Amino acid sequence: MASWDGQAAIRQSPPIDLSISYDAAWVRDKTIVITGGASGFGAAFVRHWARDGATVIVGDISIEKGDALARELQKETGKPNVHFVHCDVTDWQSQVNFFKEAVRLSPHGGIDTVVANAGIAGPDIVQIPRDLSVAEPAKPNFKIMDVNCTGVLYTTHLAYYWLPRNPNSVPCSLQADPTKTPRDRHLLLLGSIASLAPIAAQPQYGAAKHAVLGLFRSLRCTSHAQGVRVNILCPYFIDTPIVTTGARFILAGGAMGKVEDVVDAGTRFVADSRILGRGLVIGPKVTVKQRDEDGQWELASKDSPGSCETALWEPCVDDWEEVDAFDRNVVKILNAVQAARGWTGWAVDIVKAVGYAFGLGR
């Protein structure tokens, strides 16, 4: 029996070549749904995509900010291509209503891209000192987990219902031509540098963002079956209001990323339908070059041969071969076992499975 080729089955596109340009105008006429789009780089996404001709439906818990953003962009573009719909991502029915309204507002009656952007940070109750003299602790507030994890799962579930129903869209493909296939099926997840590394004093936030990365890596394995492409952004600390004063003191002397670089990375994913199953980290813009001996990146001067300036990094370029080395090795062993047992082993297991279904093996 043939062994399972995980990378081929995932149908992941090649590593992103950031030197290849994309055209932001490829978002024109797409309908984009974004949660948490009333502030931060969510609002920056909305402004950029609306100005390039997309219809954007903004879901946010802040009615004042969301409504003001929609009115501002409708006036600027001269078109009703930005709409605000109140949405509490922690409330299932609120998200259901948001998606239904988005479909109603869409010029073509469908959704091309869903951006699961809503997220919060703040003091984390998990590590706040508590009175050890009481008989039992009070129930903690896990709002950060509710928004950043459960809310994202709600958004993802609804995306996989509505995206395949997008009229005149075609299943995602490595051979897609973004100039000829405006109807898309795309889910963009917002992770964080905390998806890839621990974040001090923020266990809830770190756990939630690790969960988003796990969601992305699991979805991309089978997402092509629904014709949906899935990608992820993992911003470093970006200069927005979500970075608290305390965090700014801790980060003093270092550098934070810029909103425009997050928008650039997000627009590349939304606009270019050829990108499937990829992620980008967005950090401070630096000049770097690769070392000759091992290919690792290092800081460089702007006039150094082979150097380039970038704020974008692809963290999981070859993670099936490298980051998932243990899993890959296990799969190889299991494939070897499968090959050794052959069709006889397969038939025996099928008989056992049928027997188990009828309660004979319990």
**Assign residue 227 a region: left if phi > 0, alpha if psi is -120 to 50, beta otherwise?**
left
* pLDDT band at 351; cut points 50, 70, 90: confident
Q: In whole angstroms, give the CA distance from residue 15 to residue 316.
A: 9
Structure-token pair, residue 202: 């923020």
CATH of the domain spanning 7-317: 3.40.50.720
**pLDDT for residue 115 is more than 60:** yes
* pLDDT band at 111; cut points 50, 70, 90: very high
1-15, 37-51, 132-146, 318-332: the lowest-pLDDT one: 318-332
Q: In whole angstroms, give the CA distance from residue 200 to residue 16.
A: 30
Bigger pLDDT: 307 vs 219:
219
* pLDDT band at 348; cut points 50, 70, 90: confident
| Nearest one of 98, 87, 90, 148 to 118, comparing CA atoms | 148
| Nearest one of 245, 225, 235 to 10, comparing CA atoms | 225
**Residue 255: predicted pLDDT:** 79
- Mutual angle of helices 63-77 and 40-51, in 10-degree steps: 20
Q: Print the SS3 string covering the chain.
A: CCCCCHHHHHCCCCCCCCCCCCCHHHHCCCEEEEECCCCHHHHHHHHHHHHCCCEEEEEECCHHHHHHHHHHHHHHHCCCCEEEEECCCCCHHHHHHHHHHHHHHCCCCCCCEEEECCCCCCCCHHHCCCCCCCCCCCCCCCHHHHHHHHHHHHHHHHHHHHHHHCCCCCCCCCCCCCCCCCCCCEEEEECCHHHCCCCCCCHHHHHHHHHHHHHHHHHHHHHHHHCCEEEEEEECCECCCCCCHHHHHHHCCCCCECHHHHHHHHHHHHHCCCCCCCEEEEEEEEEEEECCCCCCEEECCCCCCCCEEEEEECCCCCCCCCCCHHHHHHHHHHHHHHHHHHHHHHHHHHHHHHHHHCCCCC
Known active-site residue 22: no
Q: In whole angstroms, give the CA distance from residue 165 to residue 325.
A: 37
Domain boundaries, the chain: 7-317, 324-362
The model carries a pTM of 0.88
pLDDT, tens only, 275-303: 999 999 999 888 888 887 777 778 888 88
**Residue 327: predicted pLDDT:** 60
Catalytic residue among 30, 205, 236, 258: 205
Q: How many residues does the chain have?
A: 362
**Residue 3: predicted pLDDT:** 43
Q: In whole angstroms, give the CA distance from residue 338 to residue 325.
A: 20
Count CB atoms within 10 A of the CB of residue 1: 12
Catalytic residue among 22, 65, 160, 209: 209
Bigger pLDDT: 254 vs 2:
254
Angle at 230 between CA 227 and CA 236, to 5 degrees: 175
Report the mean per-residue pLDDT for the chain: 88
pLDDT, tens only, 154-191: 999 999 999 999 999 999 998 899 988 778 999 999 99
Strand partners, 113: 32, 186
Provide the percentage of residues in the chain whose pLDDT is more than 70: 91
Known active-site residue 209: yes
